[in-house]
Amino acid sequence: MVQTENTALVLRHVNYRDNDRMVTLFSPSRGRIDAIIRNCRKPKSHNLNAGELFALGDYMLYEAGGHITVTSVHLIETFYTLRQDYERLTCGTYLLSLTEAVLEPEQERQELFMLLLHTLSRLAFSDQPWRPLMAGFLLHFAGCEGFKPRLNHCVLCGQRMGEDGPFFFDMEEGGLCCEECHERRKRTAPPGTPKQELLAPQEVRWMRQMLQAGSSSWVDTPESYAPFRLLRKYVEGRLGRRIRSAALLPD
């Protein structure tokens, strides 16, 4: 029997019995934690908000017999303002689902945890357009998971890519392709091979800047610079699994 305190964020919840709730927590030091919060759905429960999506807090966990129970919670943030904007709420929910898809128990994930918190905070408390925020998250998420897109050299021939393009993104190889390799691939690729996607020079410059400067440079990014759809397609393709809530994302 062990009792520990863990800072964690609620990624998912499922109602259980009459008043309990099963939750999936994201701890930066322990990764995924599946736990139960008893009686949290009673109107006067002290843990009423602790089992809601996006809840961030210090969770006291009691572990015994292979089961984990939340005994108390000191809430830090609920990101309540996300619930007042449907588009931003669906974006936040998608980020939770994407994060849950890669988490494992007892795995330190400090970088991913801070990336998620930073993005949720921007979604909830800034008026910045959501597309650059989501694109920035996806780009850095790919880096956290080991498949950061290659943006400086052609992924097929290794030639250094310039500043003006044209640029083509190869989903299978995970990066930019030069025009010569793109034309060769169109002629020789077997039927059914995914097409390489054309990127505007400002989109490539934006991604390069994001990877160099970090998430602090997301502020005031023009929406047209952030290739959200391409990065979403790339990340989901690399994960190779359906992401919960993706169908709810705005166009």
Q: Are residues 30 and 124 in the same domain?
A: no
Amino acid at 156: L
- DSSP code of residue 81: G
* Distance of alpha carbon 6 from alpha carbon 14, whole angstroms: 20
Measure CA 163 to chain center. Answer: 28
> What local confidence, expressed as pLDDT, does residue 215 receive?
66
Q: What is the pLDDT along the chain (251 residues), one digit of tens a residue?
A: 677 889 999 999 998 888 889 999 999 999 999 999 988 888 877 887 889 999 999 999 999 888 999 999 999 999 999 999 999 999 999 999 999 999 999 999 999 999 999 999 999 999 999 999 999 999 999 999 999 999 999 999 999 998 988 999 999 999 999 999 999 988 888 887 788 999 999 999 999 999 887 766 666 677 888 999 999 999 999 999 888 788 888 87
What is the CATH number for 60? 2.40.50.140
User: Considering the entire predicted model, what is its pTM?
Assistant: 0.92
Domain end, chosen from 54, 77, 100, is at: 77
> What local confidence, expressed as pLDDT, does residue 86 receive?
95
User: Number of structural domains, the chain?
Assistant: 2
Q: Are residues 108 and 170 in the same domain?
A: yes
Amino acid at 32: R
Residue-range definition of the domain harbouring residue 233: 80-251
Q: Are residues 58 and 175 in the same domain?
A: no
Measure CA 130 to chain center. Answer: 13
Q: Are residues 201 and 126 in the same domain?
A: yes
- Which helix (H) or strand (E) segment holds residue 7: the answer is strand 2-16
> What local confidence, expressed as pLDDT, does residue 219 receive?
63
DSSP for the chain, written as a single string: -EEEEEEEEEEEEEEETTTEEEEEEEETTTEEEEEEETTTTSTT-TTTTTTSTT-EEEEEEEEETTEEEEEEEEEEE--GGGGG-HHHHHHHHHHHHHHHHH--BT---HHHHHHHHHHHHHHHH----HHHHHHHHHHHHHHHTT-PPB-SB-TTT-PBP-SS--EEEETTTTEEE-HHHHHHHHHHSPTTPPPPEEE-HHHHHHHHHHHHH-GGGGTT--GGG--HHHHHHHHHHHHTSPPTTGGGS--
> What local confidence, expressed as pLDDT, does residue 125 receive?
95
For 130, the 3-state DSSP assignment is: helix
Q: Are residues 31 and 14 in the same domain?
A: yes
Q: Kindly provide the b/e burial profile for residues 147-186, where b requires at least 16 CB atoms within 10 angstroms of the residue's own CB.
A: bbbebeebbbeeeebeeebebbbbbebbbbbbeebbeebe
CB–CB of 54/96 below 8 Å?
Answer: yes
> What local confidence, expressed as pLDDT, does residue 23 receive?
94
Q: Are residues 131 and 44 in the same domain?
A: no
